Structure 1
């Protein structure tokens, strides 16, 4: 790929890849390393044709994360405070109270997601935060679309159970 094309793709997809990597690794430094490595691999593909760059980039990040985990890097639980601060998008027009409520809901969601299996978190992150389609998620996870739909359904159901257990005591 040309350098100017990589720069444009970097501007478009860096935050998405970082948010995904951070939600899986729970460590900002690891997430940044993984994303930089993924973009480096994109640069190395030179003239390679990548149909859906975002899905390809997320898959490369996923593979890099699992490689790091296999090499003895312990997975840490999500630092909900750091994640909420780095990923929360606040609209200037929102009132202070609405902003606080949103942050608390976001933190609650991440606390619940931190209790889930990594793969379940991945499905929810890819669908709701990265806004990938079922087909794109299937491509990233290297599963069929049917298996992806089932996994996403099960992840949602598990998230509901966790929320019930935490907040409906």
Structure 2
């Protein structure tokens, strides 16, 4: 069944269709809200609140093919509300699973990738909320510039600008950290 058909059924009150939409979006929504808040339990609350709000307001959605940006707009607003309430830096947990029974080389490569991903996530945490949101929606949730503009209620040019600025900040931060780590490694060798 297509997403549009599911949304029509939800508009007519079909809870099973809501369950199907939930299954389609729950993992992406959890990952997105976790990357925004940095807290697993808060993310679960945000996703639950988002689906409730979607169900209550689904009849206000006029263009059914726009469900995804509409859903992420609601999710974003709720996540921002929660971040605003907490207003403190939350520790980043390692959300990447480590595989068992892998060769030494694969383990080393996986460790290096995880370290790089963790460094990236730490730097993403240092971005301002709107830049962080754009990065997460674009790279982690695969939304287009146009969809992100709808989610955030701004122009496509604003999204492009935020993406550009965020990429630039991330690049500078990661390069600075890489240089710092190389200096520290050389100090250890001496």
Other-structure match for 1:159: 170
Once the two structures are superposed, what CA deviation does each residue of 1:84-133 show, in whole Å capped at 9, x if it has no partner?
33xx697x999333322322221111111122212211111111110100
Equivalent residues in 2 for 1:88-99, closer than 5 Å: 95-99=106-110
Shift of 1:76: 2.9
Greater per-residue helix proportion: 2
Higher mean alpha-carbon deviation, 43-52 vs 12-21, is at 43-52
Unaligned 5+ segments in structure 2 are 1-9, 181-190
2:89 to 56, 72, 76: 76
Q: 1:60 to 1:89 in 2, by over 3 A?
A: farther
How far, CA to CA, are the matches of 1:89 and 1:136 in structure 2?
Answer: 33
What are structure 1's unaligned runs of at least 5 residues?
none
Find the partner of 1:25 among 27, 31, 37.
37
Choose 1 or 2 for highest CA Rg.
2
- The residue number in structure 1 matching 2:186 is none
CA–CA distance in structure 1, aligned partners of residues 55 and 83 of structure 2: 24
Q: 1:42 to 1:9 in 2, by over 3 A?
A: same
The answer for the alignment partner of 2:79 in structure 1 is: 65
CA distance in 2: counterparts of 1:42 and 1:93, whole angstroms:
43
> Match for residue 119 of structure 1?
130
Alpha-carbon distance in 2 for matches of 1:119, 1:39:
22
Report the Cα distance in structure 2 between the residues aligned to 1:18 and 1:103, rounded to whole angstroms: 20
1:15 aligned residue: 27
